Amino acid sequence: NAGVTQTPKFQVLKTGQSMTLQCAQDMNHEYMSWYRQDPGMGLRLIHYSVGAGITDQGEVPNGYNVSRSTTEDFPLRLLSAAPSQTSVYFCASSYRRSTDTQYFGPGTRLTVL
């Protein structure tokens, strides 16, 4: 049981490049979410999904896109990277609701130059 996995662990992008952060979970959880963590700011919700085919925006969605074609996978796409998107990104999953215990992945450290 791997839990929540994220790839890559580290990434450096140039301004304007696009990329996809991968997230997968093997716990058959319905709820999945993406957060970014910046110093002094806490975890901020980017996008979330309550099941396959259903996604919605969180607190800071601009510049990011998501889709959920399967229960297991929830990729996060950066459309045109900006230095303000330099952050640590965490994917999390929970059984059914955002308020169930959330299980976090190990994170992706992204730097945008």
**97 lies in the site for another protein, by CB under 8 A:** yes
92 binds another protein (CB under 8 A): yes
Least separation in angstroms between CB 7 and another protein = 14
**Which 46-65 residues touch another protein, going by CB under 8 A?**
50, 58-59
Nearer to another protein, 1 or 99 (CB): 99
* Residue from the set 24, 107, 110, 112 that interacts with another protein by CB under 8 A: 107
**Residue entry with tokens 């510049």:** 63
Identify which of residues 2 and 14 has a Cβ nearer to another protein in the complex.
Answer: 2
Q: Can you tell me the distance from the alpha carbon of 71 to that of 76, in angstroms, rounded to the nearest whole number? A: 15
- Tokens 């957060």, located at residue: 35
Question: Order of strands, edge to edge, in the sheet holding 19-25?
Answer: 4-7, 19-25, 76-78, 64-66
What is the CA 55 to chain-centroid distance, rounded?
12
**Structure tokens given for 55:** 């996604």
Give the footprint of another protein on this chain (CB under 8 A). 4, 35, 39-45, 50, 58-59, 90, 92, 97-99, 101-107
